Chain A
Amino acid sequence: MSLGLYVHRDSPVHAVPAGAKMLGLLVAGTGLLLFPSLPVVSSALGATLGLYALARLRPREVVPVLRLSAFVLVPLFVLHALLSGWVPALEAVLRLAVLLLLATLVSLTTRASDMLDALERALRPLARFGLNPARLGLLLSLTLRFIPLLATWLREIQEAQRVRGLDRDPFAVLVPLLVKTLRTADTLADAIDARCFDPEDPS
């Protein structure tokens, strides 16, 4: 199953472990928030573009992913320019652009499954809230299994309500969806238990 934004390539950037990349992103993000001056931000931009080149990603693969961010950057630049002048506007927009570029780079060069593994490890401390870390993997898989199914149900319910002219009424769509989901949850829990699942098992 191909999931997420990953673009396969043999590159040093791809080879860095997912956890390290995410940690690096966190550090870079914090650094840019603390030191947002124009020289820092522009050298960061240069470095980021260098990483894109190192990752051997083609513009064709990158541009569509970044298009959504551009929608934010342009009005923000205009707003800042009007409020406080060119330099602060450039600083603000470049900093955000670097952050978005870096985050996108991590997404483009890391398999969703590797990212999930790394996030799973990062969430280990959640055991305190009663979530057995080994269960997180099962939860993620269950969610992935049910997103397409729920999307199908949502479509079916909207179609059924369209006949009655209720498809724009969120309540008329939502309640049947929830009822169906909760019913499914009851049977699904039975089905999981019936297959010898032990929710208390630490492994």
Chain B
Amino acid sequence: MKTRDLVHVALFAAIVAVLGLMPPLVLPFIPVPITAQTLGVMLAGSMLGARKAGLSVLLFHVLVAAGLPLLAGGNGGLAVYPGPTGGFFVGFVPAAFVIGWLTERAWTRLSVPLAFAINVLGGIGVLYAVGIPWLAVSAKLPLAKAALGSLIFVPGDCVKAAIAASAAVTLKRAWPLIQAPRAGVPASPSSSSARAASAGPSSPPR
């Protein structure tokens, strides 16, 4: 990874953390408040691609596991993992990875509806696929009940998927951080010349 990639990984881990500090959003017709943290996970996936997004969210988890109160609501420490919602936190990593992987494949024709579908698939589908069984095991609930109970979060997560999709598509033109797979020429070994070339027309120094 080049320096710029490392910086993106670290800065998006910080974004996921900081979005957890945002006060939860209360919307009409949605029974539970929406925290912005998974929005950060979706954004990482949609903007960084699979590998960098996965690492970024993993990095966030390392800090949480070490005891920093970075999860929404000021939660942190190892106790978040065995808890009933632990799976929804652990699921951040595969969710970001899958969103990133799909976004890379759709990169050249990425539109808001497509990005939305990708974020729903990864940010809801994958996340819940990890979170619901975990909830069932941790709280000793039947799987069906765990799934049913999780449904109240779906509307909020759809709102987040929509926000992440439009933000990612809006910023794609100015900061195309993802390269479509197999389309680009492999980066040259010399970091400086590669950077000079990839800085391209989009980001002249100000």
Interface residues of A (CB under 8 A from B): 3-6, 22, 25, 29, 33, 36, 65, 68-69, 72, 76, 79-80, 83, 88, 91-92, 95-96, 99-100, 102-104, 106-107, 110, 112, 115-116, 119-120, 123, 126, 129-132, 135-136, 138-140, 142-144, 146-147, 149-151, 154, 168, 170-171, 173-175, 177-179, 181-182, 184-186, 188-189, 192-193, 197, 199-200
**Cross-chain pair count, CB within 8 angstroms:** 199
In the A-B complex, the 4 residue pairs with the smallest Cβ-Cβ separation, listed nearest first, are: A4-B67, A107-B77, A142-B10, A92-B140
CB contact between B59 and one of A6, A25, A139, A171 (< 8 Å): that residue = A139
Docked complex Cα distance between A112 and B7 (Å): 22
Q: Is the CB of B79 within 8 A of A154?
A: no
Contact B83 A72, beta carbon cutoff 8 Å? yes
Interface residue range, chain B: 35 or more
Residue contact A199 to B191, C-beta cutoff 8 Å: yes
Question: Once the chains bind, are B163 and A171 in contact (CB under 8 Å)?
Answer: yes
Pick the contact of A150 from B14, B47, B167 — CB < 8 Å?
B14
Q: B158 interface residue, CB < 8 Å from A?
A: no
- The answer for the CA separation of A149 and B170 in the assembled complex, in Å, is 24
Give the contacts of B149-176 with A (CB-CB under 8 A): 163, 166-167, 170-171, 174-175
Please tell me which one of the listed residues B21, B62, B81, B145 contacts residue A140 in the complex, with CB atoms under 8 A apart: B62
Q: With A and B bound together, what is the CA distance between A80 and B136 in angstroms?
A: 12
Interface residues of B in 71-101 (CB under 8 A from A): 73, 75-84
Q: Pick the contact of B55: A25, A106, A131, A182 (CB < 8 A).
A: A131
Q: How far is the CA of A83 from the CA of B146 in the complex (A)?
A: 13
B79 A179 Cβ-Cβ under 8 A = no
B84, A143: Cβ atoms closer than 8 Å: no
Query: Nearest Cβ in chain A — how far from B84, in angstroms?
Result: 6
Q: A115-B66, A189-B3 are in contact. Are A96 and B78 (CB under 8 A)?
A: no
B106 sits at the interface (CB 8 A): no
Chain A: CB-nearest residue to B9? A139
Of A184, A186, A188, the residue contacting B203 (CB under 8 A) is A186
Hey, what's the 0/1 contact readout for B177-206 against A, CB within 8 Å counting as 1? 100000000000001100100000001000
A130-B1 contact given A116-B66, A193-B191, CB 8 Å threshold: yes
Q: How far is the CA of A4 from the CA of B64 in the complex (A)?
A: 9
B63 on the interface (CB 8 Å rule)? Answer: yes
Dominant secondary structure of chain B at its interface with chain A: helix
**B76–A5 contact, CB under 8 A?**
yes
Q: Which of B1-59 contact A (CB under 8 A)?
A: 1-4, 6-15, 17-18, 21-22, 25, 36, 39, 43, 47, 51, 54-55, 58-59
CA separation between A123 and B13, bound complex, in Å?
16
Tell me, yes or no, whether B68 is within 8 Å of chain A by CB: yes
Q: B77 near A5 (CB under 8 angstroms)?
A: yes
- Bound-complex Cα distance A102 to B67 (A): 14
**B137 part of interface (Cβ distance < 8 Å):** yes
Contacts of B7 in A (CB 8 A): 142, 185, 188-189, 192
Q: Is A147 a contact partner of B70 (Cβ separation < 8 A)? A: yes
In the complex, the answer to whether A95 meets B170 with C-beta atoms within 8 Å is: no
Cα distance A103–B89 when bound, in Å? 16
Closest chain-B Cβ to A75's Cβ sits at a distance in Å of 10
Asked if residues B76 and A199 are in contact (CB atoms below 8 Å), the reply is no
Tell me if B139 counts as interface (CB < 8 A to partner A).
Answer: yes
